[in-house]
Amino acid sequence: MVTSPRPTPSRRPRTLQYHATAGDRPLAAGRVIVVGIIAFALGALLNADSLYALANRQPFGWKRTLARGVATPVRGLSHLTRLNEPRAAIQEAIGRDPEAGTRSVSKVTATTRPADAPLPAVRLRQPTADNPLKLWVGGDSMVQEVGTSVVEKATDRGTVTADLDYRISTGLTRPDYFDWPAHLRDEVLPARPEVVMIMFGANDAQPMEVDGKPYAVRTPEWQAEYRRRVALTMDLLGGDGRLVIWVGQPTMRKAEFSERMDILDEIYRREAARRPWVRFVDSRSVLAPDGGGYSAYLPGEDGQPQLARQSDGIHLSRFGADRLADAVLAALDKELAQAPKGGGPASTTRPSAPPTTTP
């Protein structure tokens, strides 16, 4: 192997002669390692809450246990030496919660309605430009596309105002990362939306902690707990005459992942069927209209194939999102068709049986 002395800058191609380093003192590799160790060690203490939150976000399993095992003492030392405070001060200054993601919440904190509470009913009214319908659209990253389409199509009517509120990498299995029921209770419902469109699930097919023990998706324990959380969320959203449109997961490209989504869809469908204020929109029938499996392309209005899914085989393209948004708005229109003219109650649907969920 040919070796040569370090070339002077002038011997290098012109494109490599940039950024003045003439005044710099080069460092030895050993010293770079020392600087790096100091930077990482002190940086870990300064950002200990963030590291701990990162460890918490990992899927349940040995990696999370290990990460928390490392992050916990670092966080303890950081709090002991108060080195966590500069980051907390910065976070508070920009309006964030410095403790976000560090709380050990493994149960959803919202509670379902008492069994003897009045049963919610859908009471929509005919919206007008002066008194538009209030629509809230939220969920995980799948909602980034479909929510955008729903909001655009709905607001184009001129009689609907809409808020889009999607949170990437969230769902119902990890309230320690983002507690959707608490968010709905504290941030969304106080604004009294008349229609809610919600979509979860793509991040939910991961192990879930139940009573301190992690369970896999296919176990009865996991499914019972997930069903409870779905039911709780649906119950939470009911009331004030509100219509809840719950959108199911589409078929995914990877068969194994898609089978896990089947499990979730079945839970959504069954729980929605038990609650007259919830309409379940089956995205599979929209995005695989022939009842077939995953399809990246769908025929457009002119019959020509259009790309409906993103390259990850999970998320929707804008065309696919538009198609699903049409189904969502069709569900809304079906309810609005029953709404009385003049703003009175649309329908007072009574459930045949009360919700059976328990906190």
Partner 1 sequence: MLFPTFEFAVFFSLTFVGSWLLRPRPVAWRWFILAASYVFYAWWDPRFVLLLAGSTVVNQAAAAAIARLPAPAARRAVLIVAVVANLTVLGFFKYYGFFLTSVTDALAGIGLHTSPPLLQVVLPIGISFFTFQALSYVIDTYRGDTEPSPTLDFAVYLSFFPHLVAGPIVRARELLPQLNERPDPRRIDAALAFRLIFAGLFKKVVVSSFVATAIVEPVFANPGQHQNLEILFAVYGYAVQIYADFSGYTDIAIGCALLLGLRFPQNFDAPYAATSIQSFWRKWHMTLSFWLRDYLYIPLGGNQGGEHRMRRNLLLTMVIGGLWHGAAWTFVVWGAIHGLALVAERAWEQRQQALGVVAGRWSPVLRWAVTFHVVCLAWVFFRAESFAKAGELLWRLLTAWGAGTLVRPMLVFVVVAMVAAQFVPAGFVGRAQAVFSRAAPVVQGVCLALGLLVIDALGPTGVAPFIYFQF
**43 or 76, CB closer to partner 1?**
43
Q: With binding defined as CB under 8 A, does residue 305 bind partner 1?
A: yes
Q: With binding defined as CB under 8 A, does residue 31 bind partner 1?
A: yes
Q: Which of 297, 326, 347, 349 binds partner 1 (CB under 8 A)?
A: 297
Q: Which of 189, 216, 263, 307 binds partner 1 (CB under 8 A)?
A: 307
Q: With binding defined as CB under 8 A, does residue 255 bind partner 1?
A: no
Q: With binding defined as CB under 8 A, does residue 64 bind partner 1?
A: no
Helix (H) / strand (E) element for 245: namely strand 243-247
Q: Phi and psi dihedrals of 308, rounded to 5?
A: -105, -15
- DSSP code for 131: S
Rounded Cα distance between 317 and 307, Å, is 7
Q: With binding defined as CB under 8 A, does residue 292 bind partner 1?
A: no
**72 or 148, CB closer to partner 1?**
148
Q: With binding defined as CB under 8 A, does residue 352 bind partner 1?
A: no
Do strands 305-307 and 297-299 pair parallel, antiparallel, or not at all (unpaired)?
A: antiparallel
Q: Are 278 and 246 in contact (CB under 8 A)?
A: yes
Q: Which of 318, 326, 347, 349 binds partner 1 (CB under 8 A)?
A: 318
Question: Which residue type occupies 174?
Answer: R
Residues 300-333: b if buried by 16+ CB within 10 A, e if exposed: eeeeeebebbeeeebbbbbbbbbbbbebbbebbe
CB of residue 50 vs partner 1: minimum separation in angstroms? Answer: 5
Q: With binding defined as CB under 8 A, does residue 53 bind partner 1?
A: yes
Rounded Cα distance between 60 and 207, Å, is 6
Q: With binding defined as CB under 8 A, does residue 129 bind partner 1?
A: no
Q: With binding defined as CB under 8 A, does residue 6 bind partner 1?
A: yes
Q: Which of 72, 91, 106, 347 binds partner 1 (CB under 8 A)?
A: 91
N-term to C-term CA, the chain: 71
- Structural tokens at position 345: 């109650």
Span interacting with partner 1, options 110-118, 151-159, 273-281, 343-351, rule CB under 8 A: 151-159
Size of residue set near partner 1 by CB under 8 A: 68
CB of residue 282 vs partner 1: minimum separation in angstroms? Answer: 22
Distances (CA, A) of 259 to 117, 168, 217, 250, 282: 36, 22, 11, 11, 15
Q: With binding defined as CB under 8 A, does residue 134 bind partner 1?
A: no
Q: With binding defined as CB under 8 A, does residue 70 bind partner 1?
A: no
Q: With binding defined as CB under 8 A, does residue 190 bind partner 1?
A: no
Span interacting with partner 1, options 12-20, 219-227, 278-286, 332-340, rule CB under 8 A: 12-20
Q: With binding defined as CB under 8 A, does residue 293 bind partner 1?
A: no
| DSSP annotation string for 160-229 | EEEEEEE-TT--SS-TTT--HHHHIIIIIGGG--SEEEEE--TTTSS-EEETTEEE-TTSHHHHHHHHHH
Residues composing the chain: 359
CB of residue 97 vs partner 1: minimum separation in angstroms? Answer: 11
Residue ranges binding partner 1 (CB under 8 A): 1-7, 12-13, 15-16, 18-21, 23-29, 31-43, 46-47, 50, 53-54, 86-87, 90-91, 94, 100-101, 148, 151-152, 155-156, 164, 168-169, 253, 296-297, 302-307, 309, 311, 313, 318
